[in-house]
Amino acid sequence: MGNLAFGSDRLLGSSPYLEEIRRRGPIPRMSGVYITTDYEVCRTILRDRSFGVVTPNHPGLPKPIRWMLAKTDLGLPNLGEPPSMLVTDPPDHTRYRRTVGQAFGPKAIATLEQRIAEVADDLIDRLESKPRPDLISDFSAQMPVTIIAEMLGLPADMHSTLLKWGDSGAPLLERGLDWSTYRDAIEDLVEVKEYFDRHLDGLGDEPGNDVLSMLVTAGDMTRREQVANAALLLDAGFLTTINMLGNGIALLAGNPDQLEQLAAQPWLWRNAVEEILRYDGPVRMTGRVANCDVDLDHQRIPSGSLVLLSLAGANHDPAVFPDPHRFDVTRDNAAEHLSFGSGIHGCLGSRLARLEGSIALPALFDRYPNLRLDGPPIPHPLRNLHAYRSMPVELGVGRAAS
């Protein structure tokens, strides 16, 4: 384990390696970086202003990644580069988030409940006409892209293009992507930048009530900041939810006893969404940099050190989640997971994702209680973002639509 590489499958995936890290202590130093699978350590670091986000020029990142970023920074809206709020610390992060935060607050998200239900029901109706429906492309992807496009004020005929951009841009959140994948993503980012430049120009002349109009009318963001965060809101608005829905469908279809419990106790669905996020969260790892010397868990973390936080490991910490490798929709503390992060960088769209999951998943399984996977789902080749690329199913005999 001494040669464990940053971004490797060993760190991000299989639990035996995560358990080996756990056995080494709360925050062991391996291959030049600090690594933790400890829940309390992860939560502390995520909330502690002594730690900041990892920027692309950090020396702890692999040299090929830093080289690629240095050669291709053309002001494109890369989710993994500033001024994306994902990789920006205060005061800029505070300014960006304040501009759009109200649109993702509790009251605003609650107003979307009926619309989410309408979109879910419409997509479920369409499944019956497909000879071999794919619950990723036909359902899990379509619902969140529809909702976030409406929130951002983007036209319906853009959905397929938005999904294409999201699919090509997702690898930019990885730390071990190859040059070919990176080049393809950058080429699509050129399209993203050109589109949002035009779109935001139009909003400057005639703003609406959508989230992107908030970016334009705030008056305290440069055009590059507007475009970068428009792209982030788009991708973050559906990528995580696509993955959450797909992972959840696979888990529930593979655990019929849990589905039976949900059918008997439908009030458990919200908790089931939390357990899906805990057990098989869409993001496996994040990173932070110590802004100063920090004493943590009886250990000195020197200023500038890179710390890798295994969210998957934290969500399976037996000190917090008893019997952590058991999928249990009745788990009392499932909602304590760290799949959406914590602190100032906690996922802005977490309420939206939770609401979409708690509406879409019960609607799907209520209509098609005999749904089963038609062969193993095809995993996405990404390593940090855990998702399925394809999930063909057999619907079985469905209940009549109400």
Q: pLDDT digit of tens for each residue in the chain (402 aa)?
A: 233 333 334 344 447 888 889 999 999 998 889 999 999 999 999 999 999 998 766 666 556 556 555 655 567 888 888 899 999 999 999 999 999 999 999 999 999 999 999 999 999 999 999 888 999 999 999 999 999 999 999 999 999 999 999 988 888 777 666 777 888 888 899 999 999 999 999 999 899 999 999 999 998 999 999 999 999 999 888 889 999 999 999 999 999 999 999 999 999 999 999 999 999 999 999 999 999 999 998 899 999 999 999 999 999 999 999 999 999 999 999 999 999 999 999 999 999 999 999 999 999 999 999 999 999 999 988 878 888 999 999 998 767 665
The per-residue pLDDT for range 17-51, each reduced to its tens digit, is 888 899 999 999 988 899 999 999 999 999 999 99
Domain boundaries, the chain: 9-74+81-294+307-394
CA nearest to 242, candidates 339, 143, 169: 143
The per-residue pLDDT for range 98-151, each reduced to its tens digit, is 999 999 999 999 999 999 999 999 999 999 998 889 999 999 999 999 999 999
CA nearest to 137, candidates 61, 238, 24: 238
User: In what helix (H) or strand (E) does residue 30 lie, and over which residues does it extend?
Assistant: strand 29-30
Q: What is the residue whose two structure tokens read 């399209």?
A: 191
CATH class of the domain at 9-74+81-294+307-394: mainly alpha
- Residue 208 sits at φ, ψ, to 5 deg, of -115, -155
Handedness of CA 77, 78, 79, 80 (dihedral sign): negative
Overall pTM > 0.85: yes
CA nearest to 117, candidates 292, 399, 398, 360: 360
What whole-number distance in Å separates Cα of residue 136 and Cα of residue 166?
A: 14
